[in-house]
Amino acid sequence: MAISTNDLKNGITLNLPEGLCSVIEFQHVKPGKGGAFVRTKLRNLRTGAVIERTYRADEKLEQAIIDKREMQFLYRDGADYVFMDQVTYDQMNVTEKSLGEATKYLLETASAVMQMYGTEIVGVDLPAAVELTITETEPGIQGDRVSGAKKPATLETGLVVQVPLFVNPGDVIKVDTRSGEYLTRA
C-alpha cells in the first residue's frame, strides 16, 4: 500500500529497498527556495540499524502492514521457543534470534505480542515489567537499606541484574523489560 511522505507518522512501518523500516522521527521542511522535503530517521526492524533519509514532499513510499498477535509462551523445544496464538490456538516455533532480548524476560505461560510481517516475526512487545525469581546472589545484609549499594543477582531466566543488598535468593522481584533494571520486590 503506497503512502505519501506528507502522511508519515512515528511508528509507521515502511517496506523500503534497505529493508523493513519503522519511522522513529520525521520533520517536514519548507525552505525559502526550492520544494518542500521530509527528513526522516528510520530503524531497520531486522538489523536494528538507524538510518536517515530525505524524501521530496508528496513522494510515495510502500507501507508495510504489521500484524500484531497476542501469543503465549508454552515451552522451549531445543533451540526454539514454542508459542500459542491466543485466538486460533495455533502453535508456532520461534527462533531465539527472532526474539532477541525478549528471551531474557520470558517464562512459561507468559504472554507477548508478536509483530509479524507475513510469516516473519519482526518484533516482540513485552509487558513493561515482569516478575522473576532470584536463583543466585549473595545473602542479604540486614540493616543496610540506606546506602544504595548494589550486588549482582542471577534470575531464573539467566538474566543478571543489579539489586539492593537486602534482596535474598528466592525473592521475587520486578524487572523493567525496557531497561533491564531492578524495580522493586514483588
Q: What pLDDT, on a 0 to 100 scale, did the predictor assign at position 104?
A: 87
> Number of structural domains, the chain?
3
Q: What is the CATH number of the domain that holds 82?
A: 2.40.50.140
Q: Report how far apart, in Å, the C-alpha atoms of 183 and of each of 5, 24, 127, 128 are.
A: 40, 27, 14, 11
Q: What is the mean pLDDT of residues 39-45?
A: 89
Q: How many angstroms separate the CA atoms of 90 and 86, rounded?
A: 8
For residue 83, give its domain range. 67-125
- Same domain? For 95 and 133 the reply is no
Task: Kindly report the average pLDDT of the chain as a whole number.
Answer: 86
Q: What pLDDT, on a 0 to 100 scale, did the predictor assign at position 39?
A: 92
Q: How confident is the model at residue 145 (pLDDT cuts 50, 70, 90)?
A: low
Q: What is the mean pLDDT of residues 54-71?
A: 89
Q: How many angstroms separate the CA atoms of 43 and 49, rounded?
A: 6
- Same domain? For 120 and 137 the reply is no
Q: What pLDDT, on a 0 to 100 scale, did the predictor assign at position 143?
A: 62
- Same domain? For 79 and 48 the reply is no
pTM: 0.71
- Same domain? For 108 and 137 the reply is no
